[in-house]
Amino acid sequence: MPSADLPDPADLPDPADLPDPADLPDLAVCVDVGSTFTKALLVDLSEGRVVAASEHPTTVGTDVLDGYDACLADLVGHEPRAASAEVLACSSAGGGLRIAVVGNEELVTAEAGRRVALSSGGKVVAVVAVGGRGRGPGPDLEAVLRHATVPPDLVLLTGGTDGGNSEMLLAAALQVVAAGWVGPVVVAGNSEAADEVSTILGDLPHVVADNVVPRIGVLRPEGARAAIREVFLRHVIGGKGLSSRDQGRTFPAMVRGATPDVVLTGVEVLAEEVGDLGDVVVVDVGGATTDVHSVVELDPETGGLGRDVVAPTPRTRTVEGDLGMRWSAVSTVEVAGLGSLAEEAAARAAMPSYLPLTDADHDVDEAIARAATGLAVRRHAGRSTVVLGPGGRVVERSGVDLRKVGLVVVSGGVLRHGRAGVAARVLEGTIGTEAGRDGGWQLPETPRVVVDSDYVLAAVGLLAEHRPAAARRLARSLLEGAADRRVTT
């Protein structure tokens, strides 16, 4: 007779009926540790689908991994094998990645550096053109690097075309050192001066990348973007002291990149999967910033190298640090002229974890989101204006022309957890054939709109390099309207 402590063998399944372990889904936990909320997805890699999702307020005040633990416990409750799944994370907690761009001419290399920094997942906190100053730091540079209330995490040093004048880049390096900067530096200027710049920087942690402007009219951000990612992982994420677990080693080992950089990679994957829909715009309305990512086919007439000193790129990201739902709520309503919401915005800024409970609360959140989205997309898209030149009437454009965009993806807590129809109300005045006519704004005219309700684009970006097939399938799930599988904490 079988022991009471053991199951009766007759009750056990026939081994032949058990699934082959090789046929079980390969799982990964993809985590975005945001400035306000930590979001986690359990992804079936074999099918490229979300098994479960969870989110929890980011626990910067204690240990950033406390919020992750709460999400993981939810996922394990849904699927026990989540406990042993591979973990991939990105982070914008603790202020994200703050970059100071130092160049020798604001309209050329400093501007190019600013664009590269944005595409690399950083928030550009300063752009300083050092010009022809001597070996000592100018007052602007010293203020940014030594006296700023919130200093940058790294310096992106640009200047000069390859084989051109190297004096400005060398002077800029000297001034960064003279300013007392001790943090990491990414050098992406005149390649022929790279060795001398490296000597000047000496013991400062630094990475030399390809020149962002190898010649006038050409912008090549890929090398600098990779170098910034390397510096973020090696020097920045651990240095923020967001977690003390395992002497601070656990969290940096999980993180694969800054959240905006990872999301832009996810947008790039999505753009390859949309087929006939064409160009893609993603708007992420966050607590501190509103990010706009676009992947568009450039018009050869407006994207030609001869038209711009710093050429446009098909992949563009802008970050609006004054537009957000919580940390930046006050500045959002101020810029938008919504003085009647000042008190409500202040309450949200004072408590970033604030959640709307009533219809009135949702109304305020939607109004703030509508303002943040409208302003951010307009800043990204720019406008077209007709001017009279020597050859007659000419159309001048700024920003990225979004009028023919086929797909707009919107994300952010206000959209993921909002009431029915929230996306249409938030995007009112931002998309449609009439939206941009007042002012010549180049806004999307007839796009399909999708809400990233499971926040999959960060997961797509995390999986893109090592699990590209899963990343592509997951990106396609946005277009297929996968059912909501959210687990709430």
Tell me if 485 is assigned to some domain: no
Note whether residue 14 is domain-resident. no
434 with 373, same domain?
yes
pLDDT of residue 213: 87
Which DSSP helix (H) or strand (E) runs through 270? helix 259-273
Q: Do 231 and 364 have their domain in common?
A: no
On whether both 290 and 428 belong to a single domain, the answer is yes
Given a contact cutoff of 8 angstroms between Cβ atoms, the answer to whether 181 and 126 are in contact is: no
The amino acid at residue 259 is T
Q: Residue 136 domain-assigned?
A: yes
pTM of the model as a whole:
0.79
Question: CA-CA distance, 380 to 369, in Å (whole number)?
Answer: 16
Residue 28 forms part of a structural domain: no
Rg value, the chain, Cα: 24
The CA distance from 349 to 287, in Å, is: 9
Chain segment 84-106, per-residue pLDDT in tens: 999 999 998 877 788 999 987 76
Under-70 pLDDT residues of the chain? 1-25, 106-107, 109, 131-139, 298-313, 385-398, 481-489
Query: Among 185, 220, 237, which residue terminates a domain?
Result: 237
Torsion of CA 350, 352, 354, 360, to 10 degrees: 70
CA dist., res. 42 & res. 50, Å (int): 6
Would you give the DSSP letter of residue 235?
I
- Does residue 425 share a domain with residue 320? yes
Same domain, 222 and 296: no
437-482 tens-digit pLDDT? 778 899 999 999 999 988 899 999 999 999 999 999 999 998 875 3
* pLDDT at residue 316 in the model: 82
Centroid of chain to Cα 372: 16
**Does 211 share its domain with 293?**
no
H or E stretch at 168: helix 167-178
Q: Are residues 199 and 339 in the same domain?
A: no
The number of domains in the chain is 2
CA distance 125 to 127: 7
Same domain, 426 and 287: yes
Q: What is the CATH number of the domain that holds 181?
A: 3.40.50.2300
CB atoms within 10 A of CB 277: 16
Is 225 contained in some domain?
yes
Statement to judge: residues 167 and 309 lie in one domain? no
Do 102 and 231 have their domain in common? yes
- Indicate if 224 and 316 belong to the same structural domain: no
90 assigned to some structural domain: no
Strands 98-103 and 37-44 come out as unpaired
Q: Where in the sequence is the domain holding 336, given as residue range(s)? A: 279-405+413-451
Q: Write the pLDDT tens digit of every residue in 119-174.
A: 777 788 888 888 654 445 556 788 888 878 888 999 999 988 898 888 889 988 99
Strand arrangement of the beta sheet that strand 280-285 belongs to: 315-320, 290-295, 280-285, 407-411, 448-451
Whether residue 15 lies inside any domain: the answer is no
Contact 239, 94 (CB under 8 A): no
Compute φ and ψ for 17, nearest 5 degrees. -90, -10
Helix 456-463, helix 468-480: angle, nearest 10: 160
Has residue 264 been placed in a domain?
A: no
Beta strands 86-91 and 255-258 are parallel
- 285: enclosing H helix or E strand: strand 280-285
In this structure, the answer to whether residues 216 and 106 fall within a common structural domain is yes
The neighbouring-strand residues paired with 387 are: 394
